[in-house]
Each structure stands twice: as C-alpha cells, then as structure tokens.
Amino acid sequence: MIRLTRLAFLALALLPAACGDFPQPMLGNPGRMGALLAHPPPQRIVVPTPHDALLDDQAAKLFATDLANALVNQTIPAFAARPQRGDWVLGVHAVLQGDSVVPSYTITDPRGHKQGNYSGPAVSSASWAAGDSAALTDAANAASPGISDLLSNIDAVLKQNDPNSLYNRPPRVAFSGVTGAPGDGNQSLAKEIGRDLPGMGVVMVQQKDQADYLLSGKVKNSTVNPQTQRVELTWVVTTPDGKETGRVSQVHDIPTGSLDSYWGDVAAAAGSQAALGIKEVIDNAIGKRVPKSASAPPSKATTTSGKTS
C-alpha cells in the first residue's frame, strides 16, 4: 500500500495527472501465483498408480498419492485415482541410470493425446527400489514445480491456438461503479476508470451476462487524527459467478476534508494508476502478463491475485 505525505497529496491536486509526480502504486507484484494459470488445462488431473516406474504396487500407490498432494500444493486439482472420462492424466515412468533412478512424467489430455513430458530430478536407486516413503515424498515435491510449469506451457499453447480464448481477444468487463467516496469522488473515479481501461485494450460492457469479469470500486474513509483523514480505495475483480480474481488497493493519508467537494486531478491520477493494476489482475487471470516498463518506479501498493481452484 502507499501512503502519501500531506504535501505530496496536495501537490498532486495542482498538477496534471500525466506529470509523473503521482506514485504508481499499481505496478505491484501480485505474488508467485500471479504468473501461473488462472485455471489449469484440466478440470482435474488424475495420477493413476504407475506400473512402469520400477516400484512395487504398494510403493507405486504411495508415490501416486504423494504426487497428487504435491500438485495440490501447487494449486492444481490433482487426485490419485483411476482416470475417468474427461480427465487429464499424469503418467509416471522411470529408468535406471547408474546408481540413480530418473522418473519422467507425461501429461495426456482426455482424448488420449500426449501434451508434454517432464523429467524429474534423479533419486537414489536404493531408496527408490526400497519404496522409502521419505524419498518418494521428496521426489514428488521436487517434481511438482516442473509439472506445474509444464501445465502452464500447455495451457498457453492451447489458449494461443483458440481464437475464442481470452488470450486472443480483448477481455470484456462490466463495471458497477464506485461507492463510499466523499464529494464527487464516486462519479469522478468511475469516469476515469471507464476512460482508462478501454485505452488498455479492455472492452467495457453494460450487462453482466456479456462480461468475462466484473469490476467494482469502494472507498473507505477513516480518521487518523483531527488533522488527517485516511482514504482507502479498493478495486475488486470477480468472475461473473462471483469468484474473486484479484483486487487492487490504494491508501492515502490526506488533510481532513480536502476531498469533500471536488477530486479533480486527484481522481485522474488515482484512476489511471488503479487501471494499471486492474489490467494486471485480468492479465494474470488470463495467463498472460504484460512486461512492465523498465522506467516504472518500484511498487508501493498492493495488488493481490485471488485464489483459484
């Protein structure tokens, strides 16, 4: 979050929004998961008991469970089970190389087409052959980030090849407006967001059933001391079914009552920076990210991506 000093905030109201003096709080890092999939390719991926992995039946079942648990920790909907119709499948194979076993992993789509392969870190052949539970768990945990990356790559290819995918068309957003702001803040902030997002390639629509994402803004005011008022702006992006995709927050400490009438250039500057964060949240959800400008200042605000399932 960013908190402007009194002088910085007052100076902002007197300067054009494009002057560059307004901090750019929305260029934040939304966290590791922001770069991963909003929804992995499968609705679920199953890990059947591997019969070609140099493990006995008991150890093979244990390793399948360990893999599923490790992938769940990567926020991938994985299950140790027999494949059913519509499932994606993670197959496991292993080969002996000297004193080590090298497990490999193959992703197969519901049609039975192989979509990618990944070779995991080598494991001691003695521990592997013995079905050592700690070694198998360690091997599953070590392989899960690579498998997650493989799923991300598969997802990106599928999106790029689908003309109807959000990867290949502008996202449509229904904006319900801003509430809670003093003075003309609700109207001014809404106007700026409605102007800035289309300039970033977002299509604004009126009806929720036409939208890929829903956007709302809320302003909360609180008293810091008799001279200082805290204004918190929160922009929430959700899917049409109500799942939160992410949110952008801006916090400013201002002289009490200074925004009780007109927001003016304050709304223009705050709205333009909020729009950057909103677009980043949407890009993260789609699975593509726009490289940040090398000249952009470091983040001083928070942009959080919502959890996905």
Q: Quick check: is 56 in a domain? A: yes
Same domain, 240 and 137: no
Task: Give the max Cα distance, the chain.
Answer: 76
**At 271, is the secondary structure helix, strand, or coil?**
helix
Same domain, 199 and 296: yes
Give tens-digit pLDDT for 74-119. Answer: 889 999 999 988 889 999 999 999 999 999 999 998 889 899 999 9
Residue 293 pLDDT > 60: no
Same domain, 21 and 65: no
Same domain, 77 and 30: no
Q: CB under 8 Å, gap of 24 or more: what pairs does 52-61 form?
A: 52/92, 52/93, 52/94, 53/92, 53/93, 53/94, 53/103, 54/94, 54/95, 54/96, 54/101, 54/128, 54/129, 55/94, 55/128, 55/131, 56/131, 58/131, 59/131, 59/136
d(CA 292, CA 297): 10
CATH of the domain at 53: 3.40.50.10610
Which residue range forms the structural domain that includes residue 142? 45-161
Query: Residue 125: pLDDT band by 50, 70, 90 thresholds?
Result: very high
The residue from 135, 161, 187 where one domain ends is: 161
Q: What's this model's pTM, rounded to 2 decimal places?
A: 0.50
| pLDDT recorded at residue 159 | 67
d(CA 47, CA 284): 27
d(CA 305, CA 34): 6
Q: Quick check: is 166 in a domain? A: no
| pLDDT recorded at residue 124 | 95
Same domain, 232 and 278: yes
Same domain, 181 and 299: yes
Residue 130 pLDDT > 70: yes
Same domain, 177 and 301: yes
Same domain, 187 and 251: yes
Same domain, 82 and 108: yes
Give tens-digit pLDDT for 51-74. Answer: 999 999 999 999 999 999 999 998
CA dihedral (52, 58, 64, 68) in degrees, to 10, reads 180
More confidently predicted of 168 and 102: 102
Same domain, 80 and 117: yes
The residue from 161, 187, 209 where one domain ends is: 161
Residue 10 pLDDT > 80: no
Same domain, 157 and 228: no
> 108 forms bridges with which residues in the sheet?
89, 114
Q: Quick check: is 205 in a domain? A: yes
**Strand positions, DSSP E, the chain:** 45-46, 78-79, 88-97, 100-108, 114-119, 123-124, 172-179, 203-205, 213-225, 228-238, 244-255, 302-305
Kind and range of the H or E run holding 285:
helix 265-286
CATH of the domain at 275: 3.40.50
Give tens-digit pLDDT for 203-245. Answer: 999 999 999 999 999 999 898 898 988 989 999 999 998 889 9
Query: Residue 284: pLDDT band by 50, 70, 90 thresholds?
Result: confident
Please state, rounded to an integer, the average pLDDT across all residues of the chain: 80
Same domain, 240 and 295: yes
The residue from 141, 161, 181 where one domain ends is: 161
The string over 133-161, giving b where at least 16 C-beta atoms fall within 10 Å of a residue's C-beta and e elsewhere, is eebbbbbbeebbeebbebbbebbeeebee
What is the tally of structural domains in the chain?
A: 2
